Amino acid sequence: MSHSDTVSARQLWAAVLGASSAVVFGPCVRLGWSWLAAGGAAAAGVTTLLLQRLPPRQTFAGCAAGRILLAAGAALLAVLAAFSAAESRLAFPETARALWSGLPVLALAGLAASRGTKVLLRCGSILAPILAVLYGVLLLSAATQADPAWMRPENTPGQILPAFCLLLCPALSLCFRDECAQPVRGLLPTAAMVALAALSAALCAGVLSAPGAAMPASFLALAQSVSVLGVMHRFEALCSAGSLTGCFLLCALSLGGCLNCLRALLPSLDRRSGILRLSLPIAGLSLACSGLQTAWITGAGAIYCVGLTLAALGIGFRKKSAKMQKKC
């Protein structure tokens, strides 16, 4: 690995959490906050375990089973990139039905991913604080107007599984951990993201939902309803921009992670040619996407089933290498 591709753990987590905002302020607000907290706690534990247990990507490229798993992970990350590009269509309701509106996001994400890990994560670490300020203002404004009576936990335990799958998004850091100069530890960042997801869902319910009513359809409705210092402001344009930025980051990190898996299999693969080869099938899949919430859940769950298998395989590799070292 060249020095130009080395990044810091802080840059990595800033970019990953910025990308996770597309999930936290997107599909997650349609779930109950109590089940988000429960499912997210399990997801944070899985992510932390994977970060501790998984060996470097090149370890898996050394055997047939590892190569199959890397290829499966690359395919699933490509699917996640297509889903995130399709989700960006919902950032602006006026163009939500225009299938082509997600393609510019995909093109920009591909350009960022083709420039290398350092450029990609630096871009994410610059955009993440902007998203933090934007969503922080909206959440603080909503906190003063939320009705606690409307924030009671819902008796819908079936939501814990989609919450678990959606809040596994920070495990994208696994795809870039090998390029970090410092060890990557995930407990605090993932726990903070889970708390933010539960808080945003609770405030959406407290501001927008009457008792017994359905959960709000999007975070955009909250931006249209809050007031700052007693004056009603319309924040939907800023909220749409934040949603679009989060989808861009998630799409770019998914493409970058996919490319990293492929380059572990094919070291001679050039980043730019790899992105060009991936762009056409991913663009076609993004045009065909429908039922986005189900797609996010299925894609995230499948990716991390592969991740758990990789973790188990990695533990076996470590034990085998330790025995070989003792024999030597």
Tokens of 160: 């814990």
Q: Rounded to two decimals, what is the model's pTM?
A: 0.82
Mean pLDDT, range 176-205, rounded to an integer? 84
| pLDDT at residue 36, as a whole number | 87
Burial class (CB in 10 A: 0-12, 13-18, 19+), 312: exposed
In terms of DSSP bridges, do strands 231-232 and 227-228 run parallel, antiparallel, or are they unpaired? antiparallel
In this predicted structure, what is the pLDDT of residue 327?
Answer: 55
Task: Report whether pLDDT(95) > 70.
Answer: no
pLDDT confidence bin for 291, thresholds 50/70/90: very low
> Nearest 5°: CA angle at 62, between 184 and 10?
15
Q: How far apart are CA 202 and CA 33, in angstroms?
A: 5
pLDDT score of 269 more than 70? yes
DSSP 213: P
Q: What is the CATH number of the domain that holds 280?
A: 1.20.1740.10
Q: Which of 25, 4, 28 is nearest to 300 (CA)?
A: 28
**Which structure tokens are listed for 199?**
């808080």
- Lowest-pLDDT range, 98-112, 160-174, 235-249, 312-326? 312-326
pLDDT band at 311 (very low <50, low <70, confident <90, very high): low
- CA dist 40 to 21, 44, 151, 165, 232, Å? 14, 6, 18, 8, 33
- How far apart are alpha carbons 314 and 326 in whole angstroms? 18
| Residues with Cβ within 8 Å of residue 227, at least 6 apart in sequence | 141, 145, 233
Q: Could you give the C-alpha distances from 203 to 61, 76, 189, 209, 263, in angstroms and in order?
A: 45, 33, 21, 10, 43
Counted domains in the chain: 1
* Range(s) of the domain holding residue 319: 3-327
User: Does the structure show a pLDDT above 70 at 216?
Assistant: no
